């Protein structure tokens, strides 16, 4: 029966090929996802410790447990030269943590460094350069006074805008005025972002400003950039946050509750804020969000961490990401939708506004909050049934943005 | 004939599966290689232009030709804050190059930033975050005097060593004395590195110091760190170098002569040089080299670009990489093995020693030299029949190293 013989051979070959396709599919598909298997952070605030001690404080719970496994360290930091007179921070940090033989690099994208570090970590894992990546975000800013810090941070503005005396707070001021005029937003609704975020921050043991503030207190605090007031801006903070990332297929050997990075997108916009067609249209945020949501295969998230360096930004970003309705974000904020128990909780951690904004650490800390929320470990500020969350980490004033979508399953 | 019908179906299925396996294999295998499809650089030296103009000068031949294709920009730079009072350099550069909508980040690993950028570029391509990556290395250092530049660069040393007054040149001095004593190396053989590299640099239109120097001139130049003299150290330079990278399967649609990054390895060592068991054993260099050569599947390269910040380093690094014999690198240098027409040409570009060392640009420029050599476009300094080349980009004083192996075929 030669025909049957042939048939058998072909069947065997088919099965072999099928199994090969399965193996290959697994490799190809698994390439696209990584998981956070550990996360920790320091208390943010004016800290007396130096930058090395802060990195150790945030990373040591992970390093202690997984020292032998870590094979790449990313240090998310922008200003160690300016604020700490230190260069080559990544190599000094690995030596300080007794991880001498672990390769490292410093990722810088100003205030968006943390989100960008997640993107680099994912790439290193995908490309098999690394198996276990430790991301440490850190900034020690309180070495300088407010005036000097503002001046250093303004060095991210294009020379033309800088020479006109424009600063990041002044851009927030312009944005607020245009938003209020265009959409008829009330002044109170914008200040409400600070009320909510301070309420959340008061429930976050790691936050810089752990006190609730009333609407009246926000609106009577010192004027910074008309009409925005002191409580509406992030404080100047020191702090560090750490994450351990692996490929999804290995995640469960590190923890029984991994949090998966289901999607990550990044996009850019003109650094000349003045030349953008519409200052309210945060193109980089919108595009990065679209990419991340598509990749994550989810329609809706249960909470979001946004870049609320100034109150107005939380509203405008949430609109750009489709979390709030375009032009109605102010009203929805006023109605309480973005509260921890609202329909779309935003900045449950307290956000940059109350948790603080140590530049290189901020985006990493957003992912830490997502990790805690999805594992149900966010304590008093826990979002009920949180399964999917989003973090948006932004450089400059929307010059670039990275959006990450996290979930409890791959 | 139901059997024949079944047979036909199975055959069709087999063919389909086979083609799928092919496609998948291609994806899986191609993951491991990327290619340089374009390279250019500025003349290195004391330049009157600002940092933005330098990035434009090096990248514009690539941007002009492939503007629409570029979907990620990596800026390799360490000291824009310290030397140029600029932060967020990557976002300002994309705006300056009218690549506003292209995402970017700054990669920093001090003097090893260029090699590290290649690693990040490869990872972004492997993970499909990007399809076409533009790497721009740049540093504008001449804004400060020699004393200040030395002080800024010493900020990469561990606080303990810094407080003892140790600087990078003083480490080179210690290394030279130990090497000479241990291996009986002559003073002349070490100075010969500078003679050779200046000879090569004189033939490189992009080099900072384009003049030949005699052994006598080297040995009578001002003493910098006993016994090393001025001509034995790299000058302080401004400059920029750019590369365009894609995955290998796309390379030929960009150029008819791509240069393939066949292997890349990275490794780290203690930042406390004083606590290393043997200062002559450059562990990070050796390990990174082993990884890169294994990945590249080659036994031998035809030329190498090394980190000759000081003459002694070229010899010790070449020994660590197995390019020269352990303890005999000095004698082999003296015999002329490392000359352009020798058995193992090293630093045909002139190296850091004569080409110059604009920190963030250096490692990128090494890859540019490899690109030119492998394409046979290195003019007067062309290595005959060069097919495989190696570049070693190093942070600090061997704190970390990245080794890249390039070839004319995948």
A129 and A52 co-located in one domain: yes
* For A84, nearest residue in chain B (alpha carbons): B155
pLDDT of residue B250: 96
The answer to whether residues A245 and A186 belong to one domain is no
Q: In the listed set B258, B290, B305, which residue is the last one of a domain according to the structure?
A: B258
- If residue B132 lies in a helix (H) or strand (E), which one and from where to where? strand B132-139
Token pair for A213: 């503030």
B207 & B343 share domain: yes
pLDDT at site A31:
46
Query: Which residue in B6, B91, B120 is closest to A396 by CB distance?
Result: B91
Q: Hey, what are A300's tokens?
A: 């809706």
Alpha-carbon distances of B300 from A136, A376, B294, B348, rounded to whole Å: 38, 55, 11, 17
Which A residues, 14 through 43, put their C-beta within 8 Å of a C-beta on chain B? 14, 17-18, 20-21, 24-25, 27-28, 31-32
In a domain, B224, yes or no: yes
Structural domain containing residue A111: 32-143+239-260
- pLDDT, one tens digit per residue, over B244-287 is 999 999 999 999 999 999 999 999 999 999 889 999 999 999 99
- What's the gap in Å between the CA of B240 and the closest CA on chain A? 19
In a domain, A1, yes or no: no
For the stretch A97-127, pLDDT in tens is 999 999 999 999 999 999 999 999 999 999 9
Phi, psi angles (nearest 5°) of residue B30: -65, -20
Cβ neighbours of B104 in A, within 8 Å:
109, 268, 400
B249 and B365 inside one domain: no
* Chain B environment of A3 (Cβ under 8 Å): 3, 7
Overall domain count for chain A: 2
Is the same domain home to A300 and A349?
A: yes
3-class DSSP string for B68-100:
CCCCEEEEECCCHHHHHCCCCHHHHHHHHCCCC
Residue of A nearest to B284 (CA): A101
In a domain, A27, yes or no: no
In a domain, B178, yes or no: yes
**Which residues of A are less than 8 Å from B134 in CB distance?**
none
In whole angstroms, how far apart are CA B53 and each of A97, B238, B349?
39, 11, 23
In a domain, A359, yes or no: yes
In this complex, is the C-beta atom of A167 within 8 Å of any C-beta atom belonging to chain B?
no
Comparing alpha-carbon positions, the chain B residue that sits nearest to A7 is B7
| pLDDT tens-digit map of B369-383 | 999 999 999 999 999
Q: What is the CATH number of the domain that holds B181?
A: 3.40.47.10
Our measurement of the distance from residue A365's CA atom to the centroid of its chain's CA atoms, rounded to an integer in Å, reads 6
Contact criterion met (CB below 8 Å) for B295 and B262: yes
Q: Is residue B310 in some structural domain?
A: yes
Q: Are residue B188 and residue B317 in the same domain, yes or no? A: yes
Asked if the model's pLDDT at residue B26 lies above 50, the reply is no
Interface with chain B: mutation pick from A100, A133, A163, A283, highest number of B CBs within 10 Å:
A100
Residues of A with Cβ-Cβ distance to B268 under 8 angstroms:
91, 94, 100-104
The DSSP line for B10-46 is HHHHHHHHHHHHHHHHHHHHHTT-EEEEEEEEPPPBS
Structure confidence at residue B171 as a pLDDT band (50, 70, 90): very high
Of the candidates B144, B160, B161, the residue with the CA atom closest to the CA atom of residue B152: B144
Choose among B14, B124, B399: nearest Cβ to A123: B124
Which of A120, A129, A268 has its CB closest to that of B91?
Answer: A268
CB A7 to CB B11 under 8 A?
A: no
In order along its 410 residues, chain A shows pLDDT tens digits of 456 666 666 666 665 555 554 444 334 444 479 999 999 999 999 999 999 999 999 999 999 999 999 999 999 999 999 999 999 999 999 999 999 999 999 999 999 999 999 999 999 999 999 999 999 999 999 999 999 999 999 999 999 888 888 989 999 999 999 999 999 999 999 999 999 999 999 999 999 999 999 999 999 999 999 999 999 999 999 999 999 999 999 999 999 999 999 999 999 999 999 889 999 999 999 999 999 999 999 999 999 999 999 999 999 999 999 999 999 999 999 999 999 999 999 999 999 999 999 999 999 999 999 999 999 999 999 999 999 999 999 999 999 999 999 999 99
- Provide the pLDDT for residue A22: 44
Q: Decide: B231 and B351 in contact? Cβ < 8 Å.
A: no
Smallest CA–CA separation between A203 and chain B, in Å? 33
CB proximity A10 to B under 8 Å: yes
Reported residue count of chain A is 410
Whether the CB of A90 is below 8 Å from some CB of chain B: the reply is: yes
Residue A18 lies in a domain: no
Across the interface, whether the CB atoms of A110 and B124 are under 8 A apart is answered no
Which chain A residues are Cβ-neighbours of B276 within 8 angstroms?
A: none
Together in a domain, A67 and A117:
yes
Q: Which stretch of DSSP H or E encloses residue B242?
A: strand B239-247
* A54 is a domain residue: yes
Report the pLDDT value the prediction gives residue B4, as an integer from 0 to 100: 61
Same domain, B214 and B117: no
| Nearest residue, CB atoms, B269 vs list A18, A78, A100 | A100
Q: Chain A, 254-293: which have a CB under 8 Å from a chain B CB? A: 266-272, 283, 287
Mean pLDDT for chain B? 94
Do A276 and A322 lie in a common domain? yes
Q: Do both A181 and A295 map to the same domain?
A: yes
What per-residue confidence (pLDDT) applies to A27?
A: 40
Confidence of residue B339 (pLDDT cuts 50, 70, 90): very high
The radius of gyration of chain A's CA atoms, rounded to the nearest angstrom, is 22
Q: Could you tell me if B254 and B320 lie in one domain? A: no
Closest CA to A363 of A32, A37, A39: A39
Cβ–Cβ < 8 Å for B72, A265: no
CB pairs under 8 A between A and B: 220
Q: Is B341 found in the same domain as B227?
A: yes
The ipTM of this complex is 0.93
pLDDT band at residue B23, thresholds of 50, 70 and 90?
very low
């Amino acid at each position: 029966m030669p025909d049957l013989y042939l048939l058998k051979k072909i069947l065997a070959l088919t099965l072999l090929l099928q199994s090969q396709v399965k193996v290959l599919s697994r490799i190809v598909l698994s390439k696209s996802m990584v998981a956070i298997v550990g996360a920790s952070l320091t208390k943010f605030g004016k800290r007396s410790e130096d930058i090395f001690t802060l990195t150790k404080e945030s990373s040591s719970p992970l390093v202690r447990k997984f020292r032998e496994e870590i094979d790449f360290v990313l240090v998310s930091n922008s200003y160690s030269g300016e604020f700490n007179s230190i260069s080559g921070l990544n190599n000094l940090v690995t030596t300080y943590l007794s991880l001498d033989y672990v390769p490292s690099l410093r990722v810088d994208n100003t205030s968006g460094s943390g989100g960008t570090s997640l993107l680099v970590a994912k790439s290193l894992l995908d490309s098999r350069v690394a198996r276990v990546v430790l991301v440490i975000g850190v900034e020690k800013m309180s070495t300088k006074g407010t005036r000097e810090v503002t001046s250093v941070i303004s060095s991210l503005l294009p020379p033309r805008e800088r020479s006109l005396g424009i600063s990041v707070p002044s851009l927030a001021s312009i944005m607020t005025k245009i938003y209020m005029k265009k959409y008829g937003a009330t002044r109170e609704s914008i200040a409400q972002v600070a009320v909510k975020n301070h309420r959340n921050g008061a429930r976050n043991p790691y936050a810089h400003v752990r006190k609730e503030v009333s609407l009246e207190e926000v609106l009577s605090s010192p004027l910074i950039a008309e009409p925005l007031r002191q409580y509406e801006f992030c404080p100047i903070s020191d702090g560090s946050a750490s994450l351990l990332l692996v490929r999804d297929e290995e995640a469960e050997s590190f923890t029984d509750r991994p949090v998966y990075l289901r999607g990550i997108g990044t996009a850019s916009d003109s650094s000349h804020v003045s030349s953008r067609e519409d200052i309210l249209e945060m193109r980089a945020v919108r595009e990065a969000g679209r990419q991340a949501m598509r990749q994550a295969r989810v329609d809706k998230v249960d909470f979001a961490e946004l870049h609320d360096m100034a109150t107005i930004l939380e509203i405008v970003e949430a609109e750009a990401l489709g979390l709030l309705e375009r032009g109605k974000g102010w009203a929805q904020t006023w109605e309480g939708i973005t509260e921890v128990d609202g329909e779309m909780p935003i900045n449950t951690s307290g956000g940059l506004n109350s948790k603080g904004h140590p530049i290189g650490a901020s985006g990493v800390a957003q992912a830490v909050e997502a990790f805690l929320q999805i594992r149900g470990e966010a304590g008093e500020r826990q979002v009920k049934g949180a399964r999917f969350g989003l973090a948006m980490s932004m450089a400059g004033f929307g010059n670039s943005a990275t959006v990450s979508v996290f979930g409890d399953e791959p």
